[in-house]
Amino acid sequence: MKPAWILYIGTFPPRECGIATFTKDLATAMDKQFSPLIKSKILAMNDDSTNIYNYPKDVILEISDTDISEYIETAKMINKMDAVKMVSIQHEFGIFGGEYGSYLIAFLEILEKPVFITFHCVLPNPDDKLKKVVYSLAEKSESIIVMTKKGIDILRNDYGIKTDIKLIPHGIPSVAFNSSQKEKTRLSYKNRIILSSFGMMNFNKGYEYVIDALPKVVEKFPNVLYLIVGETHPIVRKKEGEQYRNFLESKVKELSLQKHVKFYNKYVKLSEIIRYLEATDIYMCSNNNPNQITSGTLAYALGVGRAVISTPFLHAKDIITPERGILVNFKDKDSFSDAILKILSDPALKEQMGKNAYSYTRHMTWPNVALSYMDLFNKYLNITDKYEKSFPKIKLNHLIRLTDDFGIFQFVNYTRPDKTDGYTLDDNARAMIVCCMHYNKFRNDIQLQHIKTYLNFIKYVQQDGRLFNFVDNNRKINIEHWTDDAHGRALWALGFLTSIKSIPQELKDEAEQVFKKSLDIANKIKSPRSVAFMILGLYFYNKAKPSSEVVANIKMLADHLINIYSDNSSDEWQWFETYLTYSNSKLPESLFYAYLATKDKKYLYIAKLTLNFLISITFENNRFAPIGHDGWYIKGGQKSHFDQQPVDTASMVQTLILAKEVTGEEKYMKNAITAFQWFLGNNILKQMVYDEQTGGCHDGVGKSSVNLNQGAESTISYLIARLTLLGS
């Protein structure tokens, strides 16, 4: 298949510029999210013909901003590039030549490719010349992208723009939510209260008003330290030198604040920015320009989960609420000091503001922003059938993070294990399946130790044949609460372990002993999902040690499912129960396995019938929408769409891939990939559920956001689905 390129136009590193950073981050996010069939290429804007930048290989074209002939000739070159399918322009007035960047119009008049312009700056109350330039740019674009709601209002009302306008927020890196203490210690600021600001320095930053506010703050909090991170903007430095920095340093000395203000005069990389923000208690955004429509620094600070104090410029007014921070007056030191003291005097308020900021910004992470850009591009280019979604590398980091020497903890606070609620058999059984699958594929001996840990947990909770589900943080078994579902899942896991040839025999022997003892009460279990899990366990055990007795057990359990199907199904409702709840696909999946074990075609017939019925309900508009746990789907009622759970998606992926293997029908494989992409943003919220940064998976999809916790069940479910795809 021929390559397809998206050509991004803007400044680009190593040129030191905020737009350069954004262009690089967007292109990187798009390349990470989508397969090599869609590649990012760069047209770099140079500030003048004398500057030479050592660009990376993805920069395939350059334009000197002051040479209009280069705009025209470059547009002609792009027209001849068949691989370039569209052009995405990162627009700010200062990086294009001509009055208000009007040279870009000449470029667009020649260009024959579809164009999308992201306006990083939208100026209200334009004069006639500015209005004409912006209107002309919009007129030549398929769509305009802005980062705040206010930007849409200004373009519609002040400029009269009729072109389609899309709101896509400024991208932010994906980072885990952590307190500031860990990073403070790394930076040798363990006992300090950190205020920080970062970005390229110029007179509009307003840092002097924060410095003026500090004496009042230091009186009450003498361990306050204000970090000002970033070098002077190259254009400012060229025209004015270091006047502003010298002015600030003089003010610090004048106010005797040398122990309370520290300057880091350097162009900071993203990793450094994150480190400073993670060490921060309050982020200070003191910009003096009331019309600033976009602030990447503000977005980054909120994205790390830090309380923010900001002047009320346009972007800040859009995203800073009393729940996330405080808006203060422009150029008002008392307003700054009062806000700082209010937050520092109430640690609970500071912590809650940080959590609220972090929660609010999850849709702004670069993977989600990339999804939004591609969703917009596809409206005009229809390239969905021309690319394949790339699957993330398999990472067990978060699974291991949640596991101690006893087992895997069930709950988390964001990404940190919450040990107070202890462990469950459900999670440890499924975690053992993950590690068995991983070991079978990669032969990593570390996974053998984890398999041993989870197997020991299963042995620990076995009493009189029954496998109990809940163990508290003191490792005491709750013998008053036995669940047949957990028992069935454990049988599935134990049977699966015995079937893996590469696993050492001693582990398989241990699993077999527990498995056999747990089968003693199998005939007492009647709930459909528990029965389905037991069929899976018996099928895999029979692969290791075939016997007519095991096959007879499979047949008995499968016949039970057939009987309840007959009792509850109708022409309009091809299902085993009068409702659809959780892990629904495990029921037809177990019948596919029953067919493989017995070769009885009645199991295959009902398996296909019920799976196709489930597909008709859970696939909508080329995406998977599992039954929401907030209400389920009762026969004759309405399907719940929210509180969608990763465990249901993982189950469907497994079932569909098995259906493809059994029937040879490609439609099942196509649906399996679509279902898996639920984790990667092809869901009702169009947001990533899997977190590539941590290797964990969020705990569900709600009405307006994903659940930020990354618990054991969700992470395990993702890994089972991912490993199942790997083996398909």
Q: What is the pLDDT of residue 386?
A: 43
Nearest Cα to 485, choosing from 527, 546, 524, 438? 527
- The Cα–Cα gap between 22 and 178 comes to 25
What is residue 706's DSSP assignment? B
Segment holding 21, helix H or strand E: helix 18-33
4-167 and 181-364 in the same fold: yes
CB neighbourhood size of 97 (10 A): 20
Using 50 as the pLDDT threshold, list the residues of the chain that sit under it. Answer: 385-387
Tokens representing residue 178 in the block = 């952590």
User: For the packed helices 484-499 and 528-544, what is the interaxial angle rounded to 10 degrees?
Assistant: 20
Of 99, 139, 92, 144, which Cα lies nearest the Cα of 120? 92
Beta-carbon contacts of residue 662 (< 8 Å; ≥ 6 apart): 592, 595, 596, 604, 607
Q: Which amino acid would we find at residue 569?
A: S
What's the Cα-to-Cα distance from 409 to each of 401, 472, 707, rounded to whole Å? 9, 10, 18
Short-list 625, 619, 623, 617, CA closest to 682: 623
Q: What is the pLDDT of residue 408?
A: 98
From CA 261, how far away is CA 254, in angstroms rounded? 12
Q: CATH code for 4-167?
A: 3.40.50.11930
Residue 383 pLDDT: 58
Paired tokens of 170: 């400024």
Query: Are 153 and 159 contacting, i.e. CB atoms less than 8 angstroms apart?
Result: no
Q: Domain segments of the chain: what residues?
A: 4-167, 181-364, 397-726
Whether the bond into 124 is cis, omega within 30 of 0: no
For 397-726, CATH number? 1.50.10.10
Architecture of the domain defined by 181-364 = 3-Layer(aba) Sandwich (3.40)
CA distance 233 to 228: 14
Q: How many CB atoms lie within 10 A of CB 275?
A: 17
Global pTM value: 0.88
C-alpha–C-alpha distance, residues 235 and 334, integer Å: 32
Q: What is the pLDDT of residue 1?
A: 57
| pLDDT of 389 | 57
The CA angle 422-424-428, to the nearest 5 degrees, is 115
DSSP 418: E
| H or E segment to which residue 118 belongs | strand 115-119
